[in-house]
Chains A and B, each alone.
Chain A
Amino acid sequence: MATAKKVSFKLNGKPVEVTVEPRELLIHSLRERLAHTGPHIGCETSHCGACTVDLNEMSVKACTVLTVQCEGAEITTIEGLEQGGALHALQQAFHEEHGLQCGYCTPGMITRAYRLLKENPNPSEQDIRSGISGNLCRCTGYQNIVKAVQSAAKKLAAAG
Chain B
Amino acid sequence: MIPAGFDYHAPRSVADAVKLLGELGPEAKLLAGGHSLLPMMKLRFAEPGHLVDLGRIAELRGISEAGKEIRIGAMTTEHELLRSKLLAEKVPLLVEGAGWIADPQVRYKGTIGGDISHGDPANDQPALMLALEASFVLTGPKGERVVKADGYFLGLYSTQLAEDEILTQIRIPLPAPGSGWSYQKLKRKTGDFATAATAVMLQMKGKSVASVAIALTNAGPTVLKARDAEAYLKGKAIDDASLNEAARLAMKICQPTPDQRGDAEYKVAMCGEMTRRALQAAHARAKG
Contact = CB atoms under 8 A, between A and B. Distances in A.
A134 B104 contact: yes
Contacts of B10: 68, 71
A81 interface: no
Interface string A13-46: 0000000011111001000000000000000111
A64 interface: yes
B283 interface: no
Contacts of A22: 5-8, 51
A60 B109 contact: yes
Interface in A47-80: 47, 49, 52, 58-61, 64-66, 68-69, 71
Given A22-B51, A69-B34, A133-B103, A64 B8 contact: no
Contacts of B1: 44-45
A102 interface: no
Contact of B34 (A66, A116, A132): A66
A69 B103 contact: no
Given A2-B7, A23-B3, A47-B191, A64 B104 contact: no
A128 to B, nearest CB: 11
B190 interface: yes
A2 B2 contact: no
Contacts of B34: 64-66, 69
Interface residues of B, number: 29
A23 B108 contact: no
Given A23-B2, A59-B105, A64-B39, A134 B190 contact: yes
A59 B3 CA distance: 22
Contacts of B31: 69
A159 to B, nearest CB: 25
Contacts of A64: 34-35, 38-39, 109
Contact of A23 (B5, B104, B106): B5
Nearest to A57: B108
B8 A5 contact: yes
Contacts of B15: none
Contacts of A69: 31, 34, 53, 55
Contact of A45 (B3, B7, B8, B39): B39
Nearest to B8: A22
A46 to B, nearest CB: 6
A114 B34 CA distance: 23
Contacts of A45: 1, 39, 42
16 contacts: A21-B5, A22-B51, A23-B5, A23-B41, A44-B42, A46-B35, A47-B191, A49-B105, A64-B109, A66-B8, A66-B34, A69-B34, A69-B53, A71-B10, A134-B102, A134-B103
